[in-house]
Structure 1
Amino acid sequence: MGEKGCIKCGSHDARTKEVAMTGTGLSKMFDIQHNQFIVVYCADCGYSEFYNKQSSAGSNILDLFFG
């Protein structure tokens, strides 16, 4: 893992979870595939960051989270 750790508490125990969020209006029905995110969160303090799943597909998300 990265050397810096969580920006809030310094922990190196981060986890990821995929989530989908709905927008408003018609996007609730038709745009769900464009609202998928990966949440990276610190298992110790709970600090979280959201990354667009499509934009971050080629990146190591934990590296982004730890800076």
Structure 2
Amino acid sequence: MNYECPKCHNTSCDIDQMQATGGLFSKLFNIQNKRFTTVTCKKCTYTEFFKSKTSAISNIFDFFTN
């Protein structure tokens, strides 16, 4: 991966995913319907978020497992 931190110019990072709720319905039923890919600098911990697509089946699975 070709990465350079915009803050400290370090070239190593961690990539992970984060989920969040959206509107009122999602919050009431604890459905994590917003997904983001995170890129975090290993040196200064500056983190960027990139929106990822979610599928309907993952939202349904999330609803029944909460």
Indicate the percent of aligned positions where both proteins have the same amino acid. Answer: 29
Contact 2:10 2:43 (8 Å CA) reproduced: yes
CA distance in 2, matches of 1:10, 1:40: 14
Any gaps of 5 or more consecutive residues in structure 2?
A: 54-66
Any gaps of 5 or more consecutive residues in structure 1?
A: 55-67
Determine the structure 1 residue equivalent to 2:15: 16
TM-score (norm 1): 0.63
Question: Structure 1: which amino acid aligns with 2:41?
Answer: C
Determine the structure 2 residue equivalent to 1:5: 4
Higher Rg of the two aligned structures: 2
TM-score (norm 2): 0.64
- Which 4+ runs in 1 deviate beyond 4 A? none
Which has the higher relative contact order, 1 or 2, with Cα contacts under 8 A spaced 6 or more apart? 1
SS of 1:36 mapped into structure 2? strand
